[in-house]
Amino acid sequence: MITLEGVSKVFTSHGQQVCAVDDVSFDVAEGELVVLIGPSGSGKTTTMRMINRLETISSGRIMVNGRDLRSLDVVELRRGIGYVIQQGGLFPHFTVADNVSVVPRLLGWSGDRRRQRAHELLDLVGLPPDRFADRYPRQLSGGQQQRVGVARALAADPPIILMDEPFGAVDPITRKQLQRELRRIQAAVQKTIVFVTHDIGEAFLLGDRIVLMSDGRVVQDATPADLLRHPADPFVTAFIGEDRGVRSLQFTLLGEIAEPGPADTRANGVALPGSLTIIEAARELGKRGPGAGAGFWISDEEDQPTGYLSYQRFAAVLGDTIAGDHTAEHASEGTDGIPH
């Protein structure tokens, strides 16, 4: 849906050239949520602004839906892209409903249709329209304003949404709530989203893929699990921080650490789906209590056994992962000698 090919941006300020974005390439597939993350000044905002042509590209090219950005009409392009920025960027003298309806008004929708769409979207973002539609931005909390920003970006149903630190200015609790809401909304609307943040927790919670930037360059482009297991260099490791092991628990699946089971059929009754993360499995085992055997079966979607884990191996992988001996692969190399 979006492809950046060797994209660079050079600014000239006070006679000095600043390379804000340096030979950046990545793809965003349809329906995917890609997180752009990096320290302040690493070129995230400039990259986003080039995607919707608020900045020109110095070299390289950007394709949207297979077409070169430069060949697209800029008004047309922006209609197909919703943009959410920090602090909402709402118009203070417009009501909430009118803020949500900015693009539909530009598109010439009738008043009825605009109102109906605004109400539908306010419902979607958790702001009951009967209470919120006629308020003004100053009558909302920061978190509520960001929700209006999200509703506004979705109003004309654009296939692409760009979000630049949308939850950067709200308190941590509201932020968590907004992140969860965004996951729920994304499951419902399945947009192609580029989401900028400098919060690694937010990146892991939301990203199907994470593109880590530093000094205008892409340092690593990977799924959350791969970023944790195979950090490209010490910068990535440092950026992920000390929580790396604990985070890995949320991205390692039982199916990935299962081993071939004993020859007899399910000797004990405990079977867990291979799609559970280690942490979900630990919780689940805590609820159920141990079965009769020395371990439990791993099953696929059809409830067929595909592997086996002894409690001992499960505990070893859990311990190694938390300790930051990271990967499941590592654990299976390192903790053997466990009889099955």
Ligand X SMILES: Nc1ncnc2c1ncn2[C@@H]1O[C@H](COP(=O)(O)OP(=O)(O)O)[C@@H](O)[C@H]1O
Q: Which of ligand X, Mg ion, none does residue 11 bind (CB under 5 to 8 Å by kind)?
A: ligand X
Q: Which is nearer to Mg ion, 47 or 310 (CB)?
A: 47
Residues forming the site for Mg ion (CB under 5 A): 44-45
Element (H, E) at 2: strand 2-13
Question: Least distance in Å: CB of 11 to ligand X?
Answer: 3
Paired with 209 in beta bridges are 34
Element (H, E) at 177: helix 172-189
Q: Which residues contact 230 (CB under 8 A, 6 or more apart)?
A: 222, 327
Q: Which of ligand X, Mg ion, none does residue 43 bind (CB under 5 to 8 Å by kind)?
A: ligand X
* # binding residues, ligand X (CB under 6 A): 12
Helical segments of 196-272, H only: 200-206, 224-229, 234-240, 244-249, 254-257
Question: Least distance in Å: CB of 99 to ligand X?
Answer: 24
Q: 């630190």: which residue's tokens? A: 165
Yes or no: say if 133 and 96 are a contact pair by the CB < 8 Å rule: yes
- Of 195, 190, 179, 180, the residue nearest 154 (C-alpha): 190
Candidates 6, 10, 11, 131: give the one binding ligand X (CB under 6 A).
Answer: 11
Yes or no: say if 196 and 165 are a contact pair by the CB < 8 Å rule: yes
Q: Applying CB under 6 A, which part among 13-21, 183-191, 225-233, 327-335 lies near ligand X?
A: 13-21
Dihedral sign, Cα of residue 94, residue 95, residue 97, residue 100? positive
Paired with 17 in beta bridges are 12
Candidates 10, 18, 29, 189: give the one binding ligand X (CB under 6 A).
Answer: 18
Looking at residues 43 to 62 of the shown chain, list those that interact with ligand X (rule: CB under 6 A). 43-46
Q: Which is nearer to Mg ion, 38 or 143 (CB)?
A: 38
- Calpha distance 253→274 (Å, rounded): 6
Is 13 near ligand X (CB under 6 A)?
A: yes
In this structure, how many other beta carbons lie within 10 angstroms of the beta carbon of residue 153? 24
Candidates 7, 8, 24, 38: give the one binding ligand X (CB under 6 A).
Answer: 38
Backbone angles phi, psi at 21, to 5 degrees: -135, 130
Candidates 31, 41, 80, 262: give the one binding ligand X (CB under 6 A).
Answer: 41
- Calpha distance 250→204 (Å, rounded): 9
Over the window 300 to 329, marking each residue x when it contacts ligand X by CB under 6 A and - when it does not, the resulting string is ------------------------------
Question: Least distance in Å: CB of 186 to ligand X?
Answer: 22
What is the identity of the amino acid at 262?
P
Question: Least distance in Å: CB of 258 to Mg ion?
Answer: 42
Question: Least distance in Å: CB of 41 to ligand X?
Answer: 4
Is 40 near ligand X (CB under 6 A)?
A: yes
Sites of contact with ligand X (CB under 6 A): 11, 13, 18, 20, 38, 40-46
